[in-house]
Amino acid sequence: MQKLRVTFFLAIGLLFFSSSSFALAQTTTQVLSDTEKTYLAKVIALESSTVKDVPNTTTQAVYKVVTVKFINGDKIGTETSITDAGFPLEVGDKVYVRYIKTSDGAEYYSIQEPYRLPQLLLLLGIFVVVVLVFGGKQGFLALLALFISFGVIFKLLFPQILHGGNIVYIATIGALLSLFVVMYLTHGFTRLTTSAYLGCVVSVIATLLFAEYAITITSLTGFSSEESVYLNIATQGNLDFIALLIGGMIIGVIGVLDDVAITQASVVNELHQANKNLTKLE
């Protein structure tokens, strides 16, 4: 039964992730405009460096002239020089380069972020090993549940939101589906798990209602940063940022609900086992 349960949930996870990459690729294409793109490039030379005042500040920084060679996209194989003061770069490092072409034909390049995938994969590997060593079988099931939960988010939530779906409805369904997978996979198909899951369903709905009420009385707009404005422009105003804010609250609460609900259900179950004369109300 245990093997069947693990196989079933693993199959679901693989199904979700089989097309997640495609969905994310589509997302990138939709968000980026024709005049702004991001490329992956490799640092091939570090030229002159000078100390200059940082604009609009009283501090100074070392500005380096960095020569990079593009390794993806329509500029693959071409080179360009960029003056940068943001990151301590070395020859051979990979970076993300932001490219902007204005309406008058002027082109601008800037180093956006270092390429961190190898380091992130190393940290992920350490995390997985620690969980498996100390968690054993339960740790493996927890990782599997996490894997499937990400599949729900990337395969169900993001594509549906970008295609104009009801964000609050999608976030609620996604949260309940993630909780279902995580709780039943890690804790098994038991009465205790079912009790905890039903409590989570009520909690998610309560969170939805209270979030809508709180946002209404405080007149929140969902525009909390500069990126929100850019995202609104890039999607031509098709995203409801108030609904995104509510959806974020719903998704955020599920990380707490799992442990809290299971703990509460376990405590009540232990009390019942200790004294079976207690009534259900007690």
Transcribe 230-248 into DSSP letters.
HHHHHTTT-S-HHHHHHHH
Residue 133 pLDDT = 94
Judged against a pLDDT cut of 70, whether residue 141 lies above it is answered with yes
Per-residue pLDDT, averaged over 57-86, amounts to 82
Residue 197 has pLDDT above 60, yes or no: yes
Is it the case that residue 10 has pLDDT exceeding 70? Answer: no
d(CA 124, CA 114): 18
pLDDT at 110: 86
Q: What pLDDT, on the 0 to 100 scale, is given for residue 54?
A: 64
Containing H/E element for 220? none
- Angle among Cα 134, 118, 122 to the nearest 5 degrees reads 10
DSSP 76: T
Q: Which tens digits make up the pLDDT trace of 46-58?
A: 876 777 666 667 7
Query: What's the chain's average pLDDT?
Result: 80
Asked whether residue 69 carries a pLDDT value surpassing 90, the answer given is: yes
**Over residues 94-117, mean pLDDT:** 87
The per-residue pLDDT for range 147-167, each reduced to its tens digit, is: 888 888 888 888 888 787 888
Q: What is the model's pLDDT at position 56? A: 67
Global pTM value: 0.61
Residue type, 48: S
Report which of 171, 178, 197, 161 is spatially closest to residue 249, judged by C-alpha positions: 171
Tell me the H-state helices in the chain.
2-18, 20-31, 117-151, 158-162, 167-187, 191-218, 226-234, 241-274
pLDDT of residue 55: 67
CA-nearest of 184, 156, 186 to 172 is 156
CA dihedral (77, 81, 85, 89) in degrees, to 10, reads 40
- pLDDT value at residue 126: 96
Q: Are 152 and 178 in contact (CB under 8 A)?
A: yes
Express each pLDDT in 12-33 by its tens digit.
554 444 444 444 333 333 334 4
Q: In what order do the strands lie in the sheet with 36-53?
A: 79-84, 60-70, 36-53, 94-101, 107-114
Among 22-26, 111-115, 164-168, 278-282, the least confident range: 22-26
Residue 40: band (very low, low, confident or very high) from pLDDT cuts 50, 70, 90: very high
- What secondary structure letter does DSSP report for 106? -
Asked if the model's pLDDT at residue 102 lies above 90, the reply is no
Residue 34 has pLDDT above 80, yes or no: no
Query: Between the CA of residue 152 and those of 72, 122, 148, 166, 203, what are the distances in Å?
Result: 29, 24, 6, 16, 20
Rounded to 5 degrees, φ, ψ at 47 are: -95, -135
CA-wise closest residue to 5 among 179, 194, 189: 189
